[in-house]
Amino acid sequence: MGVGDDDAGRADGPPDSDLAMEQGPDELDRSLPGTLQPLTRPGTPRALLVSPSLAADRRWMGRAFERALEARSLDEVPVGAVLVQHDRLVAEAFNRTRSGPDPTAHAEVEVLRRGAAALGDWRLDGCTLYVTLEPCAQCAGSIVLSRIRRVVYAAPDPKAGWVGSLGNLLQDRRLNHRVEVTRGVLEDGSADLLRGFFRERR
């Protein structure tokens, strides 16, 4: 997760975008718009086209956002995460670094621990992780170790993100596991939540 008290400036950084961007394991240097599938017939205006996968991504990211709101209510940095397998909820969590107190208790690490316990396996094969902020180096490393298939994140983290901002640990060709990445799903709401949280503490 990677955001902390000293990272309040990051809340001014995320660009405004509602369009999810997808990046496969072998596309390290470019991002492509999420695929759009017509709901009706060919020739439907682009504004009316919605990808079924994008609809599911928004639904699960909305649940992660609810966990972020729960974190804020406990005076934790508002980041939430949800783990899904075959479109079924496996686990959900939010940042707990302050209440722990535990510097490693980022939302992603918490949800991976809960997911492994729920499935009875450290390998989280076929799972997708939804998180409201770009994972930091610690969380990206944990995601690779857990063999997550796909990560979807909302807001970028230009100061600490390791899924495209400072580097891309999830898709490093030198590692024995690479992860599909989709970014920008419900970005604006997540970025606004973080901005407001840190603004209140200045």
What is residue 12's three-state secondary structure?
helix
Q: How far is Cα 132 from Cα 18, in angstroms, rounded to an integer? A: 13
Q: How far is Cα 48 from Cα 128, in angstroms, rounded to an integer? A: 26
**Can 108 be counted among the known catalytic residues?**
yes
* CA atoms lying within 13 Å on the CB side of residue 73: 8
Q: Count of CB atoms within 10 A of residue 194's CB? A: 28
Residue 108 in contact with residue 143, Cβ under 8 Å? yes
Residue 131 in contact with residue 161, Cβ under 8 Å? no
Catalytic member of 22, 76, 92, 108? 108
Q: How far is Cα 150 from Cα 180, in angstroms, rounded to an integer? A: 5
So which residues are the catalytic ones? Answer: 108
